Structure 1
Amino acid sequence: MAEQEIDVVVIGAGAAGMMAAATASQRGRGVALIDHSERLAEKIRISGGGRCNFTNTQTAADRYLSRNPHFCKSALAQYSQHDFLELVNRYQIAWHEKKLGQLFCDDSAQDIIDLLKAECDAGGTLWRMGTSIASVEQVAGGFTVRSSREHWRCQSLIIASGGLSIPPIGATGFGYDLARQFGLAIVPTAPALVPLTFDPKDLYGELAGVSLDCEARAENGPAFRENVLFTHKGVSGPAILQISSYWSPGETIALDLLPGRDARQLFEEAKRSDALLPNVLADWLPKRFAQAFCAALVDIRPMKQYRPAELEQVAARLHDWQVVPCGSQGYKKAEVTRGGVDTNALQSKTLAARNVPGLYFVGEVVDVTGWLGGYNFQWAWSSGWVAGSHA
């Protein structure tokens, strides 16, 4: 099979890969974009309930996890959330802001996919979907990339192959294997933004479907106040997904079930009444949850029959319910992968490997993991643009 020469090969046609290919090709570089999947950008398509939470107005470095928390600053500054929003507006894509700075398409995530494809086409990017990589080798002046369809010789190689999250739509460890091949270290990976699982006895019975406002915290990480959703396997919802990125097996999580309220004051006001304890709590909590929660701690009886110490125990647990998850629902349900290519091996200003000229890593494959709410897409846009600007 004859070798074809091209300036840049991008492996992975997801968010970061298309952004890198579009940026490089519009600089006049010849670009081939290769992906093993036949379908384009499945992760974008299914994101945000099909409407793609494409960025966040509050994007800043402190919204990202990494062994080097400062690494992402350069890329985020070079191509910000405002830059991507300007691109979205240029394509006249209707969007709206939900809570906490989250921006979504009004119509469909397909609008973002179409935008990225059009940007790639504008630069003359060559598409190679449904094409697997057989081998990658470093050669004088660049790399040889052998695929199932053809062989390429390129000056620059951008790896945008993603992480391990959601394997049913094509996630693999290709990027990590390639990094190791070239001597780059990998920060251990784990599912992130993922539902957590519990022993049923720790969840006070069958609570699947119950949702409540909550402040959740892992042992190492910030607190997040958003909804918690009880499932048949454990807990999910935005607050749990957020803290899952900071949680490690065996660690405790703490839930304040009445954030911004004072259970002790509530009990003080109701302590002489004939109302049952769960009914008092049902003013602030879902009734089914209040019943199960109280039954696990005390006998259910009228408020005036409880000793102060019993009510104090319930109040303390409401504001600091500590439980140890059994695990998580794994990569199949994880929105992203924590860990990845060690940022110490990369240049923050270019995303290039320090010791392998012409090799770049972008997006989820890198040890940069954003909070829930559009931050991971913004990292994809920023890192892809930076690599595409230098490759």
Structure 2
Amino acid sequence: MSDNARDTFDAIILGAGAAGMMAAGVAGQRGRRVLLVDHNRTPGAKIVISGGGRCNFTNIGTAPDRFLSANPHFVRSALGRYTPADFIGLVEAHGIAWHEKTLGQLFCDGSARQIVAMLGVECEKASAQGGAVEFALGQPITDVDHADGLFRVALGARSVIAAHLVVATGGPSIPKMGATGFAYEVARRFGLKVVEPRPALVPLTLGQDETLFRTLSGVATEVVARAGATGFREAALFTHRGLSGPAILQVSSYWRHGDAIALDLLPTLSPGWLRSAKRDHPRTTLRRALAAHLPDRLAEALADRLALSTELANTPDRALDAAEAQLAAWSFRPNGTEGFAKAEVTVGGVSTADLNQRDMQARRVPGLHFIGEAVDLTGWLGGYNFQWAWASGWAAGQAL
């Protein structure tokens, strides 16, 4: 094979993560010759560390309203054509055992590496269909160009060309794994808009004035966390820097700097519970009443802050009502987040206004596709972002 033929492909996919590997396997099995490029020396680096090493690979509750985007309807086409049931079928066809945790989250029984291996096998199947998926790993991309209907990508001294270029390099979250804003650079180079990227599914930090929460490092409790009208009922974890845990990570995607977060610290209790406690246990104190439902350290801190130290029998009902109202919507203002270094995903990215929702192709640049986290489309915690990776990768792979 001549060098020219060796370096010419039907499609070049940048990024051998979840979306990129999915697109490569789908396109390869359609008889296409694909080059899958990644600066990491092994594929699926973020898959391997996901879900505590067991990969929360999808969520059976996947629906468009579980995603954030400037255009919340953009996600419908891809999700409707490649569903969680489709991916579960693929997982089961490869003999990978899985289980459901809470809230529709599906995990491998074994290792996340099984998902990476599965995607690798799907890429290998291309040869049986007259296609091929070639991996170019550990290859930094030094240039991307477009002329005469072809994309040219420089990989060090090697130059490769294809009619289709798929950008699946994700966003800047988890930079220690090599994540960058490369996808945004490519988008801007070709005239596509980029919605301001910011950390999402990320712990929130607190200033010195939030002494209540900063003294409770290591304490966890179930809450409803709200940012504006959006709320999530899951666990919150107090840390030495602020707040984390699933409820906080979820609400962080909706939080903007300067906004307040409200916590319902006792979501299992009905209104009027403190008056009932006063009637049933008049000699108890607020601290002891709280300790019946909350970790001791948190109960003590809240009781001290509310400054109700007398027995409930000696506390006016209006004071109990006021305390109950504050406990149901305890407001605080984070001073920031722990940034892209600790963010699981990125909110924002390549504008969906510039992409076709059916094939993820740039409207004004034929052959240029953006998939996965590179796009302004971000899911909730719990497998939603993986399902978007599979669905967007499948959609692009079908179009190559």
Q: Could you tell me the TM-score, scaled by structure 1's length?
A: 0.97
Residue 125 of structure 1 aligns to a residue whose secondary structure is strand
Amino acid at match of 2:146: Q
Return the letter of the residue paired with 1:60.
Answer: A
| Greater CA drift, 333-342 or 301-310 | 301-310
Find the aligned partners of 2:26 and 2:60 in 1 and give their Cα distance. Answer: 22
Give the C-alpha shift of residue 387 in structure 1.
0.3
> Which deviates further from its counterpart, 275-284 or 1-10?
1-10
Equivalent residue, structure 1, for 2:72: 69
1:253 equivalent to 2:261? Answer yes
Task: Please tell me whether the aligned partners of residues 263 and 318 of structure 1 are also in contact (alpha carbons under 8 angstroms).
Answer: no
**2:322 match:** 313
SS of corresponding position for 1:34: strand
One of 336, 339, 348 as aligned partner of 2:345? 336
Alpha-carbon distance, 1:222 to partner? 2.2
Offset from partner CA, 1:314-335 (integer Å, 9 cap, x none): 1111111111111111101100
User: Is the 1:339–1:369 contact (alpha carbons within 8 Å) kept by the matching residues of 2?
Assistant: yes
Unaligned runs of 5+ in 2: 127-131
Whole-angstrom distance in 2 between the partners of 1:154 and 1:58: 37
Of 159, 164, 167 in structure 1, the residue corresponding to residue 175 of structure 2 is 167
Of 259, 269, 278, which aligns to 1:270?
Answer: 278
Q: Distance in 2 between matches of 1:67 and 1:252?
A: 22
2:211 and 2:202 map into 1 onto residues whose CA distance is 18
Tell me if 1:368 matches 2:377: yes
Partner Cα distance (2:309, 2:366) in 1: 69
Matched, 1:103 2:106: yes
With 341-350 and 296-305 compared, the bigger mean Cα shift is at: 296-305
In structure 1, C-alpha distance between the alignment counterparts of 2:273 and 2:227, rounded to whole Å: 27
Partner of 1:227 in structure 2? 235
> Which residue type is aligned with residue 232 of structure 1?
H
The answer to whether structure 1 residue 121 and structure 2 residue 131 are counterparts is no
2:298 partner amino acid: F
**Is contact 2:275–2:317 with CA below 8 Å preserved after alignment?**
no
Matched-pair contact (CA < 8 Å) for 1:340–1:366: yes
Of the three residues 243, 246, 267, the one matched with 1:238 is 246
Q: Which runs of 5+ in 1 are unaligned?
A: none
* Residue in 2 that maps onto 1:294: 303
Report the 3-state secondary structure (helix = DSSP H, G, I; strand = E; otherwise coil) of the residue aligned with 1:377. helix
The residue number in structure 1 matching 2:223 is: 214
Identity rate, percent = 49
Is the 8 Å Cα contact of residues 203 and 234 (structure 1) preserved in structure 2? no
Runs of 4+ in 1 over 4 A off after TM superposition: none
Confirm or deny: 8 A CA contact 1:21 1:125 kept in the other structure.
yes
The answer for the alignment partner of 2:8 in structure 1 is 5
- 1:303 is displaced (CA, Å) by 2.1
Give 1:66 deviation, angstroms: 0.4
2:380 corresponds to 1:377: no
Counterpart position of 2:96: 93
Cα contact 1:134–1:146 (8 A) shared by 2? yes
Query: Using the alignment, how far apart are the partners of 1:21 and 1:35 within structure 2?
Result: 13
CA distance, structure 2, for counterparts of residue 371 and residue 104 of structure 1: 16
Please state how far the C-alpha of 1:2 moved relative to its aligned partner. 5.9
Q: Secondary structure at the match of 2:266?
A: coil
Alpha-carbon contact 2:286-2:308 (below 8 Å) kept:
no
Name the residue aligned to 2:38. 35
Report if the CA contact (8 A) 1:294-1:314 is conserved: no
Conserved in 2, the CA contact under 8 Å of 1:270 and 1:280? Answer: no
Q: CA deviation at 1:30?
A: 0.4
Q: Using the TM superposition, give the Cα deviation of residue 313 of structure 1 relative to its aligned residue in structure 2, in angstroms.
A: 2.2
Residue 200 (structure 1) shift: 4.3
1:81 maps to which residue? 84
Deviation at 1:263?
5.6
Larger deviation, residues 159-168 vs 116-125 = 116-125
Aligned-pair CA distance for 1:118: 1.0
- The 3-state SS of whatever aligns with 1:247 is coil
Moved more, 21-30 or 35-44: 35-44
Asked if 1:112 corresponds to 2:120, the answer is no
